[in-house]
A and B are shown apart, each in its own frame.
Chain A
Amino acid sequence: MARDPLIQATSSEYAPADRALVGEALAGRAESVERLIARLACVPAMLRAKNEQLGQPLDARELDEVTQNTLGSLWSKLARYEGRSKLETWAFGFCVNEIFKALQQRRKPRALDLEFASSVRDREEDDREPDISVATIESSLARLPAESSDVIRARHFAERSFEDIAKEEGLPVNTVKARYYRGLTRLRDLLAPTWRRNML
């Protein structure tokens, strides 16, 4: 089932102007449609950048397919966009979801192979052990149930509070915390072998 990515924003990124832009574009106002197109042009670019960050597991044709899927998925939810984050931030959640969905659907999920992923090093150097690559983190997040990975991304990427996420999802705060906690412990299980090996 397609889900709304929970990646939204902190209150400082609340974007009522973007919400108005989307409303006007969907209502057919020509000028707003033009502006919306210009804003959504970030989607193929973000997918390309993310693919590069992950070590280019998708080739050009696959990336094109993922772009179409991402735009389709985003479009189906556009009327529900509430301007809680900038349009680009909101769209990024769809990009991440779709790129990992594509990788998961592969017969040989190369990017989900932690050996492969851990060979892709971050550009940013970080002295702190265990030096796990972004690709490894992302591929491990993609292995979690969507309800857990969404909450983790919302907490860490968008820095949203549990209360805010719970309100958005119509769930008790404790349930959101439980999904987050279960997700973290599952991530520990997935990542620990990698970091223990790196620390040897």
Chain B
Amino acid sequence: MSAERIDADEELLLSILERRVERDSREAHQLVERRPELRPLLEDLETVMHEIDRSSASDRSLVAGIGSAIRDRDREQVERFVREKLRVAPAPRALERRRPAWFAVAAAILLMAVGAGAWLLLRGDGRPKDQWLGDPPRLLEPGETARDFTHFVWSIPGSSKARVELEICEDAGAGARGRELARHTTEASEWSFTPDETKAWPDTVVWSVTVIDAAGEQQGLSSSRSSRRSR
């Protein structure tokens, strides 16, 4: 008997327990005739399943009615926790997909390349960079904005034709996104605005670039905070 396999008799027993096979069926009778030791087991397991069902129904009822049991203190406790998490590690990558191990290796190499590139850029022109929020971007290199928000630039290593969504929001504090100011989808690696379009924007914005695959799924997101006076 393997712990990770069940044999045909055990599978039939499960089918009987789950009423996919009738208890009075010929198959069921043949099973207990062939293996009489399974008869008391079958009876016991029916009781076990009944009790688990009762316990599960109780849990479902608990979850369904939980709304009225929530206290102000619960919300405050959760708020403290979430705010702290977002402050310390703002963005565990949204809707991250499980990836095979080779992806982790590729991502590590990519991150090193991105880091080296960013260092070279910083060293080259000596300008202060925008403040990056969250984990190092997996798919995007740091972007830049023009002084008056008229130009946003980013790059996607290894992918010249990726479709991305640029989103610019007010800074709601601690890097959180506030009201949306602009949103555009493009295959380019930059987007320009006229000074008139951006003059009403606040002095600090949070902007992000999300890579969208052919199926319309998000495949990577990078977020940054920029200030008009940051450079």
Contacts and interface: CB of A to CB of B under 8 A. Distances in A.
Interface string B190-216: 000000000000000010100000000
A156 B221 CA distance: 37
Q: Looking at chain A, what size class is its interface with the partner chain?
A: 35 or more
A128 interface: yes
Contacts of A37: 75, 78-79, 82
Given A79-B92, A122-B58, A28 B66 contact: no
14 contacts: A28-B86, A28-B176, A42-B70, A44-B74, A49-B62, A80-B98, A82-B95, A134-B58, A156-B56, A174-B6, A177-B14, A181-B6, A187-B48, A195-B51
B115 interface: no
A195 B73 CA distance: 40
B60 interface: yes
Interface string B37-69: 000010011011111111110111011001101
Given A29-B177, A50-B62, 20 more contacts: A22-B95, A23-B218, A26-B95, A28-B133, A29-B169, A33-B82, A36-B82, A44-B77, A46-B66, A67-B77, A89-B63, A92-B63, A96-B59, A137-B54, A177-B14, A181-B13, A182-B3, A185-B45, A188-B48, A192-B44
Q: Looking at chain B, what size class is its interface with the partner chain?
A: 35 or more
A38 interface: yes
Contacts of A181: 6, 10, 13-14
Interface string A176-200: 0111111011011001100100000
B24 interface: no
Nearest to B60: A157
B6 A177 contact: yes
B52 A130 contact: no
A22, A41, A43, A124, most chain B CB atoms within 10 A:
A41
A103 B178 CA distance: 42
B125 interface: no
A114 interface: no
A14 to B, nearest CB: 15
Contacts of B92: 26, 75-76, 78-79
Contacts of A184: 17, 45, 48-49
Given A37-B78, A178-B2, A88 B66 contact: yes
Interface in A30-70: 30, 33, 36-38, 40-46, 48-50, 53, 67-68
B56 A153 contact: yes
A106 B169 CA distance: 48
A188 B63 CA distance: 27
A80 B94 contact: no
Given A27-B177, A75-B85, A175-B4, A41 B208 contact: no
B96 to A, nearest CB: 4
Interface string A146-170: 0000001100110000000000000
Contacts of A46: 62-63, 66
